Structure 1
């Protein structure tokens, strides 16, 4: 069995064996996968399985058929309302969100390392994905979530056998509670934010866009951003495709936040290298209400490297976009509607003309080819599509 790539600090370059279950450097910085960038055998793809594991060379660990649920290769369909937009339907993955991509990789890693207990913190979707895949791997899983988490997500976690710890307060309070519990001997902190193997599972999203578009990349990819796992996964994929000569250029990444909690948008507007400190306000886009994203510096650097930008939309715009998607037959949770809300605002020219990031975004969002992810199913957060605040 091939050796597993180790982990390296994003700041001081200290190396940690993956078997150590390290999730953060001693210096406090986040970890990446050391010297790993696989090159997919494009000629062999036609005969491979129809799951994300078809990109085996690009993944840091081999498939375990007993854990995989056939995740990946979600449909890429045209929007009926906006002719230049394609929608990637990751809400159709096994646990109804894109987080399955990283969760299956972490569960596969945990089983290979002989882990028997894991813990994770989440606003919902990562917790449901981890509960399902760790349960399938026979590994106990505890999920820390805000007490305000949607009942549908809590029910799903418990159905998969996870122990759910409800934490009073904000998403930041939940992260703090999980960090206090992390580091227990023999327990894997399977964080979708901190553990870099997760990002390499998520990057298959970018490979699929390339393959489903006839082995070409769009001009712009619009991504909802809280902790930034989907954005960073896409950036890894696009960078690898270009380096391998399989794509000519990177798409511009346009990240979208909720206006009630937009530390990355504000940092981008101010030309800063790290997120600004903000207070997280109430928003229907609960999945991206992250006031202090641990990989904030990496997110900002990745967006700038592609010539992209970061913007925000209001809850009212998000609710309207969610309804418009439902009219197209696509019922998604509010967090999944923020990217479509941004594209709609650019098309209708109803954005903030005084915003320096929106000035850039308007051009990116009205390009000839734009891909928008729909990341989580509407039944996870049914709510009322008309409930929103300006």
Structure 2
């Protein structure tokens, strides 16, 4: 009996040793990996990118947090920035990287860190220190508003003006970019388009920059198709101060506009319009075209004008012409509205209005008034694809002189 008992004890000991020799499965973030953050100095609302080696992950998904300590633990978490991010969907060249927006309600200061967990908070990776810039010291001033359209800046003396202010002198002229967000989840920017400022705007003049604490830009809207249905874009200013990058954001909205090249002066007279910054493609890849030109008098009586064959081109432009039909209803001195409608698919119905005012002394004379009203009818989550902007200086020059290139 003692013999069998001794053999049993020996077997248990051998089994324990064998199990101890087996490798323990690794779960969660692998210790020793650090998150890279670029840039590390961002104002509230600014955009930055984080990157970490794919080998740091054993989980298939991860969450991202903003924290006020640098420990690789789930402590002092301020904001959840992203959740449920699939590792395989954001891996490029062996590195996991995503783009994030700094929440606008985060208090400025140093001592911020990015933390990642892929197992619900048991293990963590942490970044180097970040700084949230004080928006009272680093900011963009839009001196004539944040809404703009092509016809607002079409005249030689009209500009879209903004000023960048920093607390310290800049080492060089700031870099300007536009970001059009197409899809965002929490503070994770899942889909976006980023282009140089000069793809969408023309810089007419500038002052300050290198060696100064300010940088002022006078610009005008160029021709390009809307990057999203709202025309909403983030202007990102990247300033270099003592070799470090500082990023400041500002949001603007570019509206479609109608340039009246040939204005009518009486009923049955000819008019010629150029559309600027209109959407040119749907999510299904369909072309966008104008289906109706509608004149509406003061009594809200509508008269339709059949547009010529047309489509919105790669610059967001279209040429339209026609003749003014007879208007009824009286009160024409109060104005006649010209409405351009785009009816491409069931989800896209966009109307743009440009107003012509009748001269009081003659009900048959028309006077152009610079006025634009835009109305969107879009279903939730539908968006337009951003068409590639073609930078053709010769086209820009002819458009500025009211000439049109025919394709």
What TM-score, normalized to structure 1? 0.28
Kindly indicate which of the two structures has a greater share of residues assigned to helix.
Answer: 1
Kindly indicate which of the two structures has a greater share of residues assigned to strand.
Answer: 2
Whose Rg is larger?
Answer: 2
